[in-house]
Amino acid sequence: MELDNRIINTVKSVLKKYHAKKVLVAVSGGVDSMVLLNVIGEIIPKEFFGVVNVDHDLRPESAKEVEFVQNFCVGRGYQFFTTKWLNKPQDDIGMEAAARSFRYDFFKKIMQDNDFDTLLTAHHANDLAENILMKLIRSGNAYEVVSLKEQRPFADGQIVRPLLNFAKSDITVFADIHDIHHVQDKTNFDNITMRNRLRNNIFPELQKENGQLLTHFNFFEQQIMALLDLAQKEFSRIENSMKLVKTPEKITGLIKPVETLNSEQQTLFWGSFFTKSNLGISISNRQIEQIIEIVTGDHANASIDLADSWQFIKSYDQFLIQRVQDQNLQVFPIKVGQTQIINHRKFSLLEDERSFTLTVENTPHEITLRTRRSGDKLLLSNGQHQKLSKRFINEKIPEYERDNYLILLFDNQIVWVEKIYNMSDYLKKGSKHYKIKLD
């Protein structure tokens, strides 16, 4: 009885907390969503809610499951919306994500066409814990880890998940007590997906270590969310100082404001920066990881010893900057009064009285992320340039894929092209500012 009241009262208070007025319950027919539907049926008059279901048509039983949910709703006079997924992708890769995308598009359409302000899903504490562990395994990106929130904006309204604090076992006990009928998704027992492997093999073991595990995952998520919220305040301030320019193919901004953060904080900052959907450019997790590695790794705090690796010499009437790397001598001419960027270090030579000052700046000024443009050139370790289009050909990247390759630039110098080019392979790390006086 105690559990009964807890579940019913929680659903009531969550709906109240988020001012849900006309709700659409997403019901697959499984035990979780059938419990949620039963609770909603108890606490909300039927004019104020509807039921939505998607037949993904991926399993032979799916039509029967829709029928089950439909009969339940019709029997009680609930509004019921359903659709069948017809245009499925040809191969299995990404099927789950495509199914989810279709499902949520349909939910959105039904909400908008029928003025529902709140979509309810029956996600519970085990889903949340599985999600956290999955994201941790897949990307470790803190911004991804917190994807299952009790509430978030959706369509013109919101998604609310009233059962997020209850364990799956609580929900099944509730279903047993109230004799709530539901369908059994047999694929839940297949260990083909990582989610099922975690659910069936890993979590039962983890729970033996500590019975409070699910509460701890929930607590962890709330803390991360609060910390990210706090960080975001600082990050917004930094982004403002970056003077960002965004277009559909390009983002550019100053790097200096980010350097007020220490290196771990910078990693967090760039994670937040590139995870945002309003950047214009779409970036995957894998790409984010690589970009962060470049941005934070390349000009880490290690110092360069200019005298050791770079030399400034006067040869006849020419000034040269040269360095020896991998037993290769690289030589770059430089003119007085000129600034030259070599391997993303900025060299400028000034004459004052009878002496020269060579300034070497290692910290890039401006960062740009964009897609490719004709004429893009890559700097090679021998100081020569190679056309990006040539590199694409050498690497056998098909023509149609090339436009989607992300390119990172420091001060308009390409430093990274995903998968095929990384200038830091040619660089010694450094970020200090050196002034060399030459007589």
The contact set with ligand ATP (CB under 6 A) reads: 26-28, 32-33, 52-54, 56, 100, 103, 121-123, 127
Minimum distance between the CB of residue 409 and ligand ATP, rounded to whole angstroms? 36
Pairing of strands 79-84, 49-55: parallel
Q: Please state the closest distance from residue 97 (CB atom) to ligand ATP, in A.
A: 9
Question: Shortest gap between Cβ of 163 and ligand ATP (angstroms)?
Answer: 8
Number of H helices, E strands in the chain: 15, 21
Q: Which is nearer to ligand ATP, 54 or 292 (CB)?
A: 54
Q: Compare residues 103 and 372 and give the one whose CB is closer to ligand ATP.
A: 103
**What residues form the annotated binding site for ATP?**
28-33
Whether the Cβ atoms of residue 160 and residue 14 lie closer than 8 Å to each other: yes
- CA–CA gap between residue 34 and residue 45 (Å, rounded): 17
Q: Which residue is nearest to ligand ATP (CB)?
A: 122
C-alpha distance across the termini of the chain, in Å: 90
55 or 411: whose CB is closer to ligand ATP? 55
- Asked if 350 and 356 touch (Cβ cutoff 8 Å), the reply is yes
Closest distance to ligand ATP from the beta carbon of 302 (Å):
43
Q: Which is nearer to ligand ATP, 119 or 295 (CB)?
A: 119
Q: Cβ of residue 139: shortest distance to ligand ATP, in angstroms?
A: 16
Bridge-partner residues for 328, per DSSP? 325
Q: Please spell the DSSP secondary structure of 142-195, one letter per residue.
A: HHHHT---SEEEETTEEEE-TTTTS-HHHHHHHHHHTT------GGGG---SHH
Closer to ligand ATP at the Cβ: 103 or 323? 103
Give the H/E segment covering residue 14.
Answer: helix 2-17
Q: How does DSSP classify residue 280?
A: S
Residues flagged as binding site: 28-33
